[in-house]
Homo-oligomer: A and B are copies of this chain.
């Protein structure tokens, strides 16, 4: 069965998946790159990086994934819909290499990028988006790519099968929270916490 999986989703100790004051040069707002430094220290990111627990977790991002669903805020910075020719914040060869379904109220025609990524734009519910993405993914799994609001909506709709969250030891104070309004959702899952020598903790939810 095709699973809906979240990988490498980083949050602060106080639960923010992105900071405040997002903009073209600050995709994670005032968080900067602090939520993702653990990732840049691995050999997955750069030769000579670490090969331990952070690396084995981060490498689960791609294998077995046939499509991604992401929010409009991951695809582009606020206001992107005012430029009908813009192709998103991920450059000419985005790191997805599959169909990517962007959830937005500002739909536009699909865009073929280099390297096998095609952006499709959907204005639908999480459940309908997942059904569409599963068809595109064939036998493979669908990655729910974030941001925090999208992951929260999919969790609330009980659509996530595997959730990997990375808790980074910083206090952002402001931004968009991952966990709001999810009381009791953990009851559907087996949860494990794995602390890393890098200072982060990996949290995994799998269907109980």
Give A contacts to B, CB under 8 Å: 13-15, 167, 169-174, 179-186, 191-196, 199-201, 203
Contact = CB atoms under 8 A, between A and B. Distances in A.
A179 B172 CA distance: 10
Contacts of A174: 183
A146 to B, nearest CB: 17
Q: Is the interface of A mostly helix, strand, loop or mixed?
A: loop
Copies in the complex: 2
B179 A183 contact: no
Nearest to A170: B186
Nearest to A198: B193
A174, A192, A201: most-surrounded residue (chain B CB, <10 A)? A201
Nearest to A155: B171
Given A193-B195, A201-B201, 12 more contacts: A14-B182, A15-B15, A169-B186, A169-B203, A171-B184, A171-B185, A173-B183, A173-B184, A192-B199, A193-B196, A193-B201, A194-B195
B172 A13 contact: no
Contacts of A194: 195
Contacts of A14: 15, 179-180, 182
The 6 closest A-B pairs by CB, nearest first: A173-B183, A14-B179, A169-B191, A195-B195, A193-B195, A193-B201
A17 to B, nearest CB: 12
B169 A173 contact: no
B199 A191 contact: yes
A182 B171 contact: yes
A172 to B, nearest CB: 6
Contacts of A15: 14-15, 179
A167 B203 CA distance: 11
Contacts of A201: 167, 193, 195, 201
